[in-house]
Copies of this chain bind each other. A is one copy, B any other.
Amino acid sequence: MSLALFCPSKPADAVDVQQVAPGVWRLRFGNPEPLTPIHFRSAEPAVEAMKSLPAAKDLPIALKQISFSVRPRGCTLELPMTRGERIYGLGLNTTFFEMSGKRAFIVPGDQPENEANVSHAPEPFYVSSDGFGVFVDTARFASFYTGNVDPTSKPPGADSAGNEAASAGGVEDLYRARELRKRTMLIDVPTAQGVDVYLFSGPAMMDVVRRYNLFSGGGCVPPMWGLGMAYRGLNKFTADDSLKLAQSFRDDHIPCDIWGLEPGWQTHAYSCSFVWNRKAFPDPDGFVRQMGVMGYRLNLWEHCFTHPTSPIYEALAPYSGNYRVWSGLVPDFAMPEARKIFLGLHEKEVFSKGISGVKLDECDYQPFRSTNVWSFPEPSQFPSGMDGEQMHSMLGVLYQQTMKEPFDQRNLRTWGLVRNSQALASPLPYTVYSDSYDHRSYVRGVAKSGFQGLLWTPEVRNAESVEEFYRRTQTVIFTPFALINSWFLRMPPWMQVDREKNNAGQVMADHAEVTAAVKKLFEVRMSLVPYLYSAFNEYHLHGTPPNRALVMDWPEDPNVAAIDDQFMCGPSIMVAPMFTGQTHRSVYLPKGTWYDFWTGEKYEGGRRIDIGKPAEIGPVFVKGDTLLPLAAPTERFADNTCYDITVRVYGDHPSAAALFEDDGVSNDFQQGKQNRIDLTWAEGKGSEVRTGSYAGPARYRIVGWDRVASKAIK
């Protein structure tokens, strides 16, 4: 108990500062831990691409305004916040959008709809509305106090009218005072005795995000089949069940590229054996081959917890954590040995058979609750030196990296699903999904994903009604992984939405109409594949996220600052989903001209409009002066697929657009084997210019230019 123990925060002007990439500075405070997201990064920074971003001159925050402090329980940083500063990012929690005035926990969890900012992708990175980004390189369960702490290092109420105005009113005063408090960002990093902070310059939020995504290595590019429709069948489906249903899709011309198998493919799941269940799948090779003949790419569910009956259990034990989950080992994917053993079995059972992707489940956690404690404890120890807290932060990323290796070795792209990710993940070809299921929250997740190099699918599972099934489908077709996940339904939901009736084989009376309507929505998705493929190539080349909140495109418009029920899809499409029970909704159109995607109706922006769409169609808008290439819908992507493109022309002076042409499945495009087709419109006439050295089958044939502006009704 001595004053000598008191060590107040000090200005950090003596800190080690390095510019590590164009517009990115690393500030080293104290003695950082070794095992962090940067240590485990998936790719090197795309420095060349970063050079083309707006040139940044100096650190976005003056060093002398930053305080740093170390204590036995960890270290902290204080950063200045301006009064109106808004904070975006800090993970994929789907309850919150704008993050200022909160304590944001950077903690993974199995339910991203919660009040603690727990999410399937906790990320110690934020984008400030003041035009810079901050990444704190830690695998600890850090907290960001975003403008709601009141340090005594500043005079009391210096900046707070609350103190003068307040009277002895009790709790009434409380909320008012908080609103008026001056602002400091406090970042709390437990355990670590130091930390590297990366500052990303703007000037705009979009520049910050692009810089961050490129610093992470650049966004992933899906195989073209990854942008098609995906379907996951009943958990208990046998090979025959899958083959039969998959064939029926082809018979009915229902688009589908990806077919998912749930846990039932394994001899043991929860935890996993990673061995085919030969009762349900007597001939796995034959099954994969038959599905391939029908043009499906297979995606296999698993989690990493390795059951004692798995052939690798004994070998994996020395490279696993010291607590089991569901009786299964937790492989330490930070150890090359663990990856090798784990992939050895997967090579035999999965990859050598031609599986195209995986769904990596249960790699998150259950913080902050006392019951249903299923994953390994935070104090777990792993042979790599990580503890359970660090592993919970990194497991999703390490697992994704591990399962990508076999595809890299084959020079193939993959497209997978994962239930936990973290920072610097933009190069990883996986989309985050969730067990939580509120549609409104799912839409918020799509909007939020753009702030931080992550992809999110609002997958469609159950629906209380046909209307809900339509509404959810209308959202998912504009996101990276257009997934109908029927893991608990024997028939597709368009045959019967009611779970019990579905599994009892009772078809809905109006299933034909519903099937037709759903098929139309799937076909919309298929018509967007070339457009989305361009958006993903932009993600890769320039870091521009394919899905984004409006505030990234219109940072100067105060009306969009909090909009999280609309999102951008690619450069020009804005989606404003309707939710079950709504007959109409309010949609904000940013300044400029907008067109109804379905009707071509023209709207002047800079205002809210009220719009209604029937259950079968959701509100979708196209920005004015856009060239929108739409494909004649295919059922799936094949090696020889060539899309018939009609370019919709919105407005009189549309910006140029581009299509990216390559083999669609390998990584050769990264070595330049890719063509770029530039589409332009001038004097009432469209033109296309193809450049590049890809020499395989043509992917696109421009079959028409369709002037939407001319038929605008207003």
- A interface with B by C-beta (< 8 Å): 1-3, 5-9, 33, 35, 69, 71-74, 76, 96, 101-105, 115-117, 140, 143, 145, 148-153, 156-157, 160, 162-163, 166-171, 173-174, 177-178, 181, 186, 188, 190-191, 235, 262-264, 266-270, 273, 277, 280, 307-308, 313, 317-318, 320-327, 329, 334-335, 367-371, 373-374, 376-379, 381-385, 387, 389
Contact = CB atoms under 8 A, between A and B. Distances in A.
A585 B190 CA distance: 49
Nearest to A156: B308
B156 A327 contact: yes
The 9 closest A-B pairs by CB, nearest first: A5-B385, A170-B263, A150-B324, A368-B368, A102-B370, A156-B308, A73-B191, A76-B379, A188-B379
B264 A186 contact: no
Given A327-B177, A371-B115, A145 B377 contact: yes
Contact of A370 (B69, B115, B280, B376): B115
Contacts of A308: 156-157, 163
B263 A168 contact: yes
Contacts of A102: 370-371, 373
Nearest to A191: B73
B327 A160 contact: yes
Contacts of A148: 373
A378 B72 CA distance: 12
B173 A270 contact: yes
Given A115-B369, A170-B270, A368-B116, A191 B191 contact: yes
A264 B168 CA distance: 6
Contact of A277 (B168, B326, B327, B335): B168
Contacts of A104: 370
Contacts of A324: 150-152, 156
Nearest to A34: B1
A323 to B, nearest CB: 5
Given A73-B389, A166-B268, 13 more contacts: A72-B387, A73-B140, A103-B370, A103-B377, A117-B370, A143-B377, A152-B322, A156-B324, A169-B269, A170-B262, A170-B264, A177-B270, A177-B326
B188 A377 contact: yes
Contacts of A376: 149
A339 B262 CA distance: 62
A379 B327 contact: no
A6 B387 CA distance: 10
Contacts of A270: 166, 169-171, 173-174, 177
Contacts of A268: 166-168
Nearest to A326: B177
Contacts of A173: 269-270, 326
A9 to B, nearest CB: 7
- Name, among A270, A307, A371, the residue most crowded by chain B CB atoms within 10 Å (CB to CB): A270
A300 B626 CA distance: 69
21 contacts: A1-B335, A2-B385, A3-B318, A5-B385, A6-B382, A9-B322, A76-B379, A102-B370, A115-B369, A143-B378, A145-B373, A145-B377, A152-B323, A156-B308, A163-B307, A168-B266, A169-B270, A170-B235, A174-B326, A178-B326, A188-B377
Query: How many copies make up the complex?
Result: 2
Interface centre among A2, A69, A163, A376 (most CB of B within 10 A): A163
B105 A379 contact: no
Contacts of A317: 152
Contacts of A8: 322, 381
Contacts of A280: 168
A246 to B, nearest CB: 21
B269 A170 contact: yes
A308 B152 CA distance: 11
Contacts of A277: 168
A341 B174 CA distance: 25
A204 B143 CA distance: 43
A568 B710 CA distance: 83
Given A171-B270, A268-B167, A6 B379 contact: no
Contacts of A145: 373, 377
A268 B168 CA distance: 4
A526 B438 CA distance: 53
Given A157-B308, A377-B145, A378-B143, A370 B116 contact: yes
Looking at A73, A143, A371, the one whose CB has the most chain B CB atoms below 10 A away is: A73
B327 A7 contact: no
Contact of A74 (B33, B174, B263, B379): B379
A323 B143 CA distance: 16
Given A102-B373, A163-B308, A370-B105, A190 B73 contact: yes
A268 B165 CA distance: 11
Nearest to A117: B370
B384 A5 contact: yes
Contacts of A322: 8-9, 151-153
A170 B303 CA distance: 11
Contacts of A384: 1-2, 5
A320 to B, nearest CB: 7
Contacts of A167: 268
Contact of A73 (B152, B367, B387): B387
Nearest to A153: B322
B1 A370 contact: no
A556 to B, nearest CB: 28
Contact of A178 (B72, B307, B374): B374
A178 B326 CA distance: 7
A668 to B, nearest CB: 32
A8 B313 CA distance: 19
B383 A6 contact: yes
Contact of A72 (B116, B177, B191, B313): B191
Contacts of A157: 308, 327
A210 to B, nearest CB: 28
A150 B373 CA distance: 12
A192 to B, nearest CB: 8
Contacts of A168: 263-264, 266-269, 273, 277, 280
Given A177-B270, A263-B170, A370 B327 contact: no
Contacts of A326: 173-174, 177-178
Nearest to A273: B168
A388 to B, nearest CB: 9
